[in-house]
Amino acid sequence: MNDPHVATLTYRVLATEDFEFKDAPPLEFDAQAFTGRLADSLLTLTVKQHVPTEAEARAIADPFIAAWEIHAGASLGRPDFRLRYEGAQILDRAPAPGTHALHLTATAHASASAHLKVTRHEYPPAPAQFAVTPEVEVLWERYCRYLAGKEPLLSMAYFCLTILERQDRRAAAQHFGIEYAVLNKLGELTSTRGDDVTARKMTAKTILLTGSERVWIEAAIKAIILHLGTRGRGATLLMATLPPP
């Protein structure tokens, strides 16, 4: 190609063994680097600026895709919204006479049968502002391990707390814009609750985790992930926004 230009990138929403989107209305949005349309499980990103290679276009789009997946997962409470790269449409803005001005790329994927159980009828909205910071990435990965049964709730939550509290709890609350009471309650529950299997540590005062406390810990971790990805807006994550423990 004489003057290649990546016009669009496509991603496909993946169905899993226990989840699918079905009959969801089309979703359109306008982001900083591209416009997007998600319909029939196929996402098309139209690049706004001139980008000559597929690799450069993906370097712009993939971080947005990752942020969307995590934002949707923390909002829904499950990592169900996953997007797989499919290919690109590349135009030649100065084709030689008699040659094609359009080139399509595609990525091969193995197919697998799916046993679908949960269905959603609406796509999660694309986040207007959400950054996958190192803290967001680590907290989400540990939360997904918990959901997959690979890690107990209390040890996962305590690890997430220590990621924030690299100095001390009050400094972390101020730095990340999280009310001190939220971090303090998370520290209390992860240190004093559980049994022989689930407790992070056993003491003479360790007691069983109640159902409402489990719900609170899950809600707190998800809220912290969403807050960390958007904390540039200056908002504070308050105890009052979480369910009662």
- Does position 99 have pLDDT exceeding 70, yes or no? no
Tell me: the pLDDT tens digits for 122-156? Answer: 999 999 889 999 999 999 999 999 999 999 999 99
In three-state form (DSSP H/G/I as H, E/B as E, the rest C), the secondary structure along 158-222 is HHHHHHHCCCCHHHHHHHHCECHHHHHHHHHHHHHECCCCCCCCCCCCCECCCHHHHHHHHHHHH
- Does position 105 have pLDDT exceeding 80, yes or no? no
**Residue 113: what pLDDT?**
47
- For residue 221, which phi and psi values (nearest 5 degrees)? -65, -45
Give the position of tokens 């999280």. Answer: 178
Tell me: the pLDDT tens digits for 28-70? Answer: 999 999 999 999 999 999 999 999 999 999 999 999 999 999 9
Tell me the mean pLDDT in the region 9-33: 91
- Does position 115 have pLDDT exceeding 70, yes or no? no
Q: Which residues contact 145 (CB under 8 A, 6 or more apart)?
A: 151, 156
What does the domain layout of the chain look like in residue ranges?
Answer: 4-120, 134-241
